[in-house]
Structure 1
Amino acid sequence: SILKKGGIVPVFEPTKATAATLALELPLPSEDGVWTVLYPASAKAANTLEDGLCSRGFVVRRLNTYDTVPATWDTATLTSAQSTDIVTFASPSAVKVWSSRLGTLTPVACIGETSASAAKRIGFDLVRYPDLPGMDGWVNAILEVIESSSSSSLCKHNFKA
């Protein structure tokens, strides 16, 4: 929506913001020829997109352009995190770090299905995420967590959805 406001119209948007959906739905540019995709990715990213595109005939050149590493927490940061009522995740690596430091009891709102799947696999019980990509959906997922937790410790902070 921000791109459209700036006059940039996307030529393709997948129906879901997952690597599997993108690999399945990315249109072939033509009926003949070689279709090369440059795929900058996290060093920790799964091969889902790469494998899915290759299976459809694309030639994929993957570049591991960055890596995610756990942040260093001091005592004040850990204390603050321990009093958190809701945690939001934008990557599976963030889910892993949080759960290793604080467990899986905190309600979760994830940016999308990939992070939410990681949270569920690790053992978080209350996990919400949007069906469609974007900030609006993520905010709505946070509001759903607040509403779902209305009888829990969130009430002490007087959160209102």
Structure 2
Amino acid sequence: MAFVVADIITAILIRAIGQLLQVADIKSLKSLGATTHLNVSENFPSGEIAALFYLWNPLTIITCLGYSTSPFENLVIVLSVYGACMRLMFLNLIATRLVPLATFGWVIASHLSLYPVILVIHYVLMETSFSFLFVTLPEAALVFLQAWRAAGTPNVKVAAVGTGIATIFHEVKPSSEKFIEVSFTPSKATGKVLASKPPNQGNERCTVQYHASAKVGHDIEEGLSRHGFHITRLNTYTLEPIQHVDQTILQQALSASAVAVASPSTVGAWVDLLPEPHTWEGSVACFGETTASVARKLGLTNVYHPSTPGLHGRVDTIFDALRVHHHLSNV
């Protein structure tokens, strides 16, 4: 019985979400002057159709009969989405009281299953206003774009480390009103320079949303905090070393003149694979200054990195590592 009740409540919430989105659609059409489309939007029962589709979906019926916990997972996820939609639609006291509803639903959903964790990005984007989004790695930029589209493509001002990351945002096709503005790039494409020479906001209070890997340190946050920035960090992804490497491929890598590494975590994974790191004589071509610093701390000696970050600098670094290695081998 409890499974049936959970599915019915979920369907009711889906219907309510559909009605909220319908109201938002009508407001958008009126603001754009597209009155000829109002009748279609007003008369199309999207919420009812979605609710009926959920209730009579064979998968819904099967999971209910099989006593799966999926109905409860669906309920708290939809409850969380409902609370977030209410907060966006109505900025009054009633809606404000529903903000904990979105948070409560998300917390319970993330306890029942891992996948709803990604929803935290959407909710932070919808609930909080930030002066800047700081992005220092391409992976963080790609994850953010997924959440940005899911949150309704709000206007965002970005500080990107390097032209490569800025290009990812520039390639996003802007709509007529909502877009991503890359308004700041540091003089040198490193997180260290961004933290030491951030955007100048004068005397205004500047709030920053910083997207990073779970493995990235806190140097950037500490540097920005010293300049008066208020930081909200979101660990939107992580990197994990593979558990098994084919021995044939590993032997080929160990015998290579040089290896190219793109991040500090990659250096750490490579050192873990070396039988004797301090006696390995290969060269390491690092794609950034921070990666090179970590490589030296881990005991690697022949370490190289580009003076100017970018694709051409990385290619030159690989050639430099190969050239020096061959020179030392012939001495």
TM-score normalised by structure 1 residue count = 0.82
Q: CA-atom RMSD, angstroms?
A: 2.3
Of 191, 196, 214 in structure 2, the residue corresponding to residue 24 of structure 1 is 196
Identity %, equivalent residues: 37
Match of 2:211 in 1: 40
Distance in structure 2 (CA, Å) of the matches to 1:57 and 1:151: 49
Q: Deviations over 1:66-96 (max 9, x none)?
A: 1111123122332222222210111111111
User: Aligned pair 1:49/2:225, yes or no?
Assistant: no
Q: 1:105 to 1:149 in 2, by over 3 A?
A: closer
More helix by share: 2
Match of 1:106 in 2: 282
Q: In the alignment, is the contact (CA less than 8 A) between 1:16 and 1:133 conserved in 2? A: yes
User: Aligned pair 1:124/2:300, yes or no?
Assistant: yes
Distance in structure 1 (CA, Å) of the matches to 2:287 and 2:312: 10
Q: For residue 13 of structure 1, report the CA deviation from its aligned partner.
A: 2.5
Distance in structure 1 (CA, Å) of the matches to 2:258 and 2:229: 40
The secondary structure found in structure 2 opposite 1:151 is: helix
Consecutive aligned runs of 4 or more in structure 1 exceeding 3 Å deviation = 6-11
Match of 2:156 in 1: none
**Further displaced range: 80-89 or 133-142:** 80-89
The secondary structure found in structure 1 opposite 2:207 is: strand
Give the counterpart letter for 1:45 in structure 2.
Answer: V
Distance in structure 2 (CA, Å) of the matches to 1:83 and 1:112: 24
Q: In the alignment, is the contact (CA less than 8 A) between 2:282 and 2:325 conserved in 1? A: no
Match of 2:187 in 1: 15
Of 66, 90, 94 in structure 1, the residue corresponding to residue 266 of structure 2 is 94
Distance in structure 2 (CA, Å) of the matches to 1:15 and 1:120: 25
| Larger radius of gyration between Structure 1 and Structure 2 | 2
TM-score normalised by structure 2 residue count = 0.42
Match of 1:159 in 2: none
Of the two structures, which has the highest relative contact order with CA contacts closer than 8 Å and spacing of 6 or more?
A: 1
Q: In the alignment, is the contact (CA less than 8 A) between 1:17 and 1:133 conserved in 2? A: yes
Q: Runs of 5+ in structure 1 lacking a partner?
A: 156-161
The secondary structure found in structure 2 opposite 1:149 is: helix
Q: For residue 10 of structure 1, report the CA deviation from its aligned partner.
A: 5.3
